[in-house]
Chain A
Amino acid sequence: MSAPHSENQELATKQTEEVHVGLYVKVGLMSVVFTCLTVAFSFVSHGNVLVALLLAGCNAAMIVWYTMHLRSEKESVYRSLFLSLFFFADLILVTLLAFEDRIHL
């Protein structure tokens, strides 16, 4: 491929500081460790839902924060995600509340 034109080259140079190759590899390895821990804990604790989901949550948060670059995103992204997560939490909460307040026929 021919070399890209100078304007793009300039833009790329400016943004190189956002690229952290070593960090992505570390996050990938940590993700493997979290998966191993989730599997190990699930067998040791015979399916402890809370521990397994907590580990999965930490794993997911790490990927979103570092690999998906959420830590350096703009406010507009945070706003849209906040709304989405708010309604997601609502969805799960409503399901859980339904079991707390059952109609017994």
Chain B
Amino acid sequence: MEIPYTVSARPDTGLYSGKIGIWLFLASEVMLFGGLFSAYLFLRMGAEPGMWPHGLLNVPIGTANTFILIASSVTVVMSWAALKMRKFNQYRLWMALTILLGTVFLVIKLGYEYPQKFEHFGAYIKPEALAKYEPYLGNNYLAGRGLPPRSEITGHLHKETADLYEIVVDAVNAEPTNPKNDYPSFIQQPRSEKEVTVEKTDVRWASVFSPKHSSFFAVYFTITGLHALHIVGGLIVFIYFLGPGAALYKTNPEYLTNRVECAGLFWHFVDLVWIFAFPLFYLL
């Protein structure tokens, strides 16, 4: 039995069935990510002063990943264009490039960025103990400059005992009154050599930068994790189209073209989600 309207347009919609299907799916995806971005907004606007972290993510790496996704968006539309013009070898080249770029994105995200976060440590100080850690927080200095206070000491956990955390602190806590540290910088400052001892009784809560660290990282890992899953899904489809699925070109090239177009629309949507996620998490 032949599936109708895979190549020709349906009279009622004016589109082949796959296309109307993928647009409806993307409409539902807007709502899925919309709900998550709405949660981000809710958590961020409701955060206490100084409790929403800034500058904890690696901006150059995030920017590079944005460029990689944009490039993959171009290569996928080029692969569709090549099929449309019946240039099968070009199609294979562009599709292979798309798969490569998507894989590089995932390797950077899951193989480099995530593990870095799981090695980084932060301890939120109780409000009544903030004065004790003033040399590492610099809140008097920040108040004088009209900037929001700090309540967290971040760095790498050197040692943990029953009562203490020994943290090799980040530059922001090593020199909290250095104007360079007033705002996050594009390139993260190198780790300091300074070791700070924090008593556990002074800590509100402490953990590595995992989802339990803060609302920021909870929503960061949820949205970027879901986004990464979308990338994996897209890559599986592309690998199929480059491999066994490409055999369709022999019998019905327009059908393959339409399939690639639908998968490409999904890929562009994944790119769009990242275009909004990148500034929200890395820059603002």
Contact = CB atoms under 8 A, between A and B. Distances in A.
Contacts of A96: 41, 45
Contacts of A98: 42
A85 B275 CA distance: 17
B117 interface: no
B70 A47 contact: no
B279 A53 contact: yes
- Majority-rule SS of B interface residues: helix
A41 B78 CA distance: 31
A81 B7 contact: no
Interface in B18-43: 19-20, 23-24, 26-28, 30-31, 34-35, 37-38, 41-42
Given A38-B283, A52-B279, A63-B271, 19 more contacts: A1-B88, A11-B254, A19-B81, A19-B84, A25-B74, A35-B70, A39-B59, A43-B186, A47-B183, A49-B284, A67-B268, A73-B23, A74-B15, A81-B30, A84-B31, A87-B31, A92-B37, A92-B41, A98-B42
Interface of A: 1-2, 4-5, 8-9, 11-12, 15-16, 18-19, 21, 24-25, 27-28, 31-32, 35, 38-39, 42-43, 46-47, 49, 52-53, 55-56, 59-60, 63-64, 67-68, 73-77, 80-81, 83-85, 87-88, 91-92, 94-96, 98-99
29 contacts: A1-B249, A8-B253, A9-B86, A12-B253, A12-B254, A28-B70, A31-B73, A35-B66, A38-B279, A46-B183, A47-B54, A47-B283, A52-B284, A56-B278, A60-B272, A63-B268, A63-B275, A64-B268, A67-B74, A68-B265, A74-B14, A75-B14, A77-B19, A77-B23, A80-B23, A91-B35, A92-B38, A96-B45, A98-B42
